[in-house]
Chains A and B, each alone.
Chain A
Amino acid sequence: MAIVQKSSNSLAEEANKPTRNPLRWVLLLPALLVIAVTVIYPLLSSFVTSFREWRLIYSPRPGGFVGLENYVRAFSDAGFLNSLQVSALYVLLSVSLSLMLGLAIALLLSKPTRLNIFVRALLIFPFAVAPILKGFSWRFMLNPEYGVYAQMIGAVIPPLKDYLWLGNEFSALLSIAMSEVWGWAPLFALMFIGALGSIPSELTEAARVDGATGWQIFWKITLPLLAPVIYIVALLKIISSLKMFDQVVIMTGGGPGDSTQTLYYYVYQIAFRNLDMGYASAVSWILVLVMGLFAFLYVRTLLGGRH
């Protein structure tokens, strides 16, 4: 990854002179101050709130401390437990589909022919599209009456004709996942193409001469060599999938039933529909801890070379 670069030290030594110190803090402090106000303060504030009772409908000020009650409540709350399950399934679906599709696209476009280079240039577009538009376009195209995708699937697999993609529990979550996979898989493909380019061709040539089939080369050589990149992008996608919110609002509103209420969507409901800020803070801190674990692994891997 190009992000991990060696830092340069010779100037740094020189810059360590005390005379340069004031400038350093003048340049560094404004950013740190803004981060402290916009991230650290709310993070700590909601941590404190997570131990308090605070219903915003009754009072603009937080109420008394209730110890661990909000956290205990979460683990007996069917809605929360359901959202944990939905988020876990969603992460599994969207990560595995993005990886498989991304890998397939990368292998297909790995040879630098003119057509392939043209198609690679198109791969960034879906990711840049606003999530709400991803949601709206997929919702339309999966409509069994007039949606092109629903009709194409119906033509290939007749039993799925007239299938309500967003009206059934599993397929609704799958549809949300697909609207995200549409953005991520092409981007993964770009990352994999970069990594494939660094695999020496002698390696695969030699295997071919020894009589290995394309399938064997893929499983025994290509995939193991891609493993580090796959690990990094999978972590990135897990972190992003835990934040799934926009398309839930646009495509399903959490339904049918509560089958697409992701953890993120559930916290939104408690905090900004029920205005139960104490409980919402506790649940959001559970989310912080889960995401923190993956973020830790991600940052550690990316910075691995330096620290």
Chain B
Amino acid sequence: MQNPALRKRLGQGAEVLATLAVIFFVLFPLAWIALASLKNEVDVYSTRLFFQPTLDNFRAIFSHPVNLGPKVWVSALVSFTTVAIAIPLAAAAAYVISRHRFRGRDLVFVAILATQFVPAVVVAIPFFALFRSAGLIDTPWALVIVYLSFTLPYAIWMLRGFFDALPVEIEEAAYIDGCNELQTLRYVTVPLVMPGILVSAVFAFISAWNEFFFALILTRSDSVTLPVGIQTITGVRGPMWEQLAAGGMIVMVPILVMSLFIRRYFVQGITVGALK
């Protein structure tokens, strides 16, 4: 290649092609789920982009035998309850770790971080036996209890970062104006850190909503969650892909919408182990 201008243009062309390949790599599996959910049981096996779209799959998964309705309810109940317990507790603890100085503070914080890395399977073994004796297997409460084991530690870690990022001068001004600590916390600190609380709540919701391992072990029929429910969408010849994709859309779409809201914090959230 003698001509530098031509060479530069070829380079740019290659870059655009590579960028298109990245877009394809990132979006294609999502696009497949979206398209397959609208196809009938014949079209789902063809790669044609033009087909007669149908909502039959969505009708099918909400009726017998798949019956996804109750599973959506359990998933929502378990995820919201987990968030509603974990986030206020985490915010309170993170505030103390960020703002107070006391002996053993760093030890408490590092101990909380360490629990973030305890594998779920270790938590599952004793709880499985315990829930079996207590008759809690196949109840939403069993799931909420174990989901706290992975949402709470990460949320404390993440929220501590948000509290630390808040300048203390604002709170000091409130103290000077005569507020006590509880009033300052309620009227100054919490409102200011609210975006961080919401971001942590969304992360906790996503990880509970997507969770599979605990739900597989601890549920049988009544409290089956969405992820465990959709893997049972099979016919005589293996998975019924078009219905599975429709179920997949119900798992996926709320999460994709939510992740748009926490876009700016995504990398930060993953770094503290918010999602795995």
Chain A residues in the interface with B (C-beta under 8 A): 1-3, 5-16, 20, 23-24, 27-28, 30-32, 34-35, 37-43, 45-46, 49, 56, 60, 105, 108-109, 115-116, 119, 121-134, 136-138, 140-141, 145-146, 148, 151, 182, 186-187, 190-191, 194, 232, 236, 239-240, 242-243, 245-246, 249-250, 264, 267-268, 271-272, 277, 280-281, 284-285, 287-288, 291-292, 295, 298-299, 302-303, 307
Contact = CB atoms under 8 A, between A and B. Distances in A.
A133 B239 CA distance: 13
A213 to B, nearest CB: 13
13 contacts: A11-B171, A11-B172, A23-B182, A42-B127, A43-B123, A119-B23, A125-B30, A236-B271, A264-B119, A267-B121, A271-B125, A291-B119, A298-B117
Interface string B200-215: 0000001001101100
A123 B270 CA distance: 13
Nearest to A124: B266
Interface of B: 15-16, 18-19, 22-23, 25-30, 32-33, 36, 45-47, 85, 89-90, 92-93, 95-102, 106, 108, 110, 112-129, 132-133, 145-146, 148-149, 152-153, 156-158, 161, 164-165, 167-168, 171-172, 175, 181-182, 206, 209-210, 212-213, 216-217, 227, 230-231, 239, 241, 244, 248, 251-252, 255-256, 258-259, 263, 266-268, 270-273, 275-276
Contacts of B244: 136
Contacts of B252: 129-130, 133
B124 A271 contact: yes
A65 B49 CA distance: 63
A122 to B, nearest CB: 5
Q: Is the interface of B mostly helix, strand, loop or mixed?
A: helix
B263 A138 contact: no
Contact of A30 (B89, B106, B115, B122): B89
A45 B124 CA distance: 11
Nearest to A264: B121
A2 B264 CA distance: 12
A35 B123 CA distance: 11
B95 A182 contact: no
